[in-house]
Chain A
Amino acid sequence: MIAALLFWLFAAVLVGSAVMVVTARNPMHGVLFLILAFFNAAALFVLAGAEFLAMVLVIVYVGAVAVLFLFVVMMLDIGAARRKGGWQAYLPAGLAVGAVLFAEVLFSLAGWKLMPAAVAVPQPAGLSNTAALAGVLYTRYLLLFQASGLVLLVAMIGAIVLTLREHTRSRHQSIPRQLARDHRETVVLLDVPLREAPVVPGEAKKQAAPAPGGAE
């Protein structure tokens, strides 16, 4: 009874916040509603008895992915989107995509049933669902599991290759070099004669040429 009520509560908030993600004017609010949607999905997992999946959903999506979303949205500095005309131009394409997705959901719902092999597996009492999941994932589906890891690795390397540039202008500090410095190369003892301007090595050049950063 309470579980059913909670299910409807979480499901309603989930759908509501999912709608708000696409309709919110302020992109920042959109991301925050997305996070709320993730949370409610995690709560639904808990109600279904899949506490491991719930926690992983929160850790991966809320704790890492959505933080990056938020970061990017904050950086882009998009104000609240103004209502723009011309949405009719996108209407046919949007409707077509929606119709295809809806048809897919209908077909999969109609043809959906538990795999006989999965139903036949007896559920041992007292086995936590983390252990049960690991037992299947690391034995029967080990190859698929590793393959999905490889796919992620490829994606990661791709992202790094695409974004990494030669940082010729960045002031990179080499930590070993920094640690290897000692007083002999940093401190200069000058014998300064009285009533005469001292000549510091490097100082004359610095004054002659303007600083590389410009004169602002």
Chain B
Amino acid sequence: MIAWVLAFFATPLGYLILTVLKALAILVPLLMGVAYLTYFERKVLGAIQLRKGPNVVGPWGLFQPFADAIKMIMKETVIPSGGNRALFLFAPMLTFFLAMIAWAVIPVNDGWAISDINVGLLYLFAISSLGVYGIVIAGWASNSKYALLGAMRSAAQMVSYEVSMGFVLVSVLLCAGSLNLSDIVRAQQHLWFCIPLLPMFVVFFISALAETNRAPFDIPEGESEIVAGFFVEYSSMAFGLFFLGEYANMFLMSALTSILFLGGWLGPFGLWPVLGPLWLILKICILLFVFLWVRATFPRYRYDQLMRLGWKVFLPLSLLWLVLTSGALLAFGWLPHA
């Protein structure tokens, strides 16, 4: 029986079905995670602000995400007059799609990635740099000044923070000697990269906040000045897709930070390697908590302060650290064999 199943999976059709099953094995838990991240966020924010958070729907409010989802699906999709209908509907789909396909290269355990490609890191960087299109197209197609302002802010912000993020990625891949995400995790067998590259870890995490448009860098939404920014005209499931995309991107950035700096599926001090995926999930949850904690703690950055931080602080710092890293690797003979 098992031999028959394995033989079937070796055929082209079987391979296709196997890939779909693998994708579902990642996406279904991811979407459940996204649903409960919204619940978790409201509970954490509530606790920090001495409130209870959602506590009515189901025990401890646990069914709240489903209530929200049903509400969202039942609403009407309003398309603004004078807007570009096709692009207006395309933008949220693009955002959601990009947040999903990035997971194809994330290794959950040793050898557990849907596609273990050699340029995994570049693939992720490419996908995350495309995220800006969903927002810019949404802002333009809405035919609304608030949406356009939000889109412009977001385009400038995401392009700026990508630069320093790129330099951080370069210093990580210099230490690991590979662009393959599994190899990067294996290179951290003895020492997680967050220790030698601590400043880069901090820069990367803050840039991740900016890339996902989260507080304190949520000026593309900026509800106190431009209402809701780029998705002010969106309702119903089109809004829902943006929402899901943003939260899935938070998951993605947390997973990427765990893989690059916190040893991915490796336990601390090589503890319990059996737990593999659970270690990764635990790290993702801790980073997500930091995302929410930051949101509850810091006020929103002003636009010029945001640009200054990206270009005048992070860029020189990451460039300097890149030179230091490569110098140290060369001087002490620590260069990994390519």
Contact = CB atoms under 8 A, between A and B. Distances in A.
Q: Tell me the dominant secondary structure on chain B's binding face.
A: helix
A98 to B, nearest CB: 31
Contacts of B130: 58, 62-63
A32 B137 CA distance: 9
Contacts of B84: 28
B304 A130 contact: no
A131 interface: yes
Contact of A62 (B126, B148, B152): B126
A64 interface: yes
Nearest to B148: A74
A59 B129 contact: yes
B122 A52 contact: yes
A64 B129 CA distance: 8
Contacts of A55: 119, 122-123, 125-126
Given A63-B130, A173-B304, A51 B136 contact: no
B162 A130 contact: no
23 contacts: A51-B119, A55-B125, A55-B126, A58-B126, A58-B130, A59-B126, A62-B130, A63-B125, A63-B126, A64-B162, A67-B136, A68-B159, A70-B136, A70-B155, A71-B155, A74-B152, A75-B152, A128-B118, A130-B119, A130-B179, A131-B338, A175-B305, A175-B308
Interface in B143-191: 148, 151-152, 155-156, 159, 162, 179
A136 B122 CA distance: 20
A134 interface: yes
B280 interface: no
Given A28-B140, A74-B140, A52 B119 contact: yes
Given A64-B129, A130-B118, 9 more contacts: A51-B118, A55-B123, A58-B130, A62-B126, A63-B162, A67-B136, A71-B156, A75-B152, A173-B304
Interface of B: 84, 87, 117-119, 122-123, 125-126, 129-130, 132-133, 136-137, 140, 148, 151-152, 155-156, 159, 162, 179, 304-305, 308, 338
A145 to B, nearest CB: 16
Contacts of B117: 51
Nearest to A129: B118
Nearest to B308: A175
A62 B308 CA distance: 25
Nearest to B163: A64
B155 A67 contact: yes
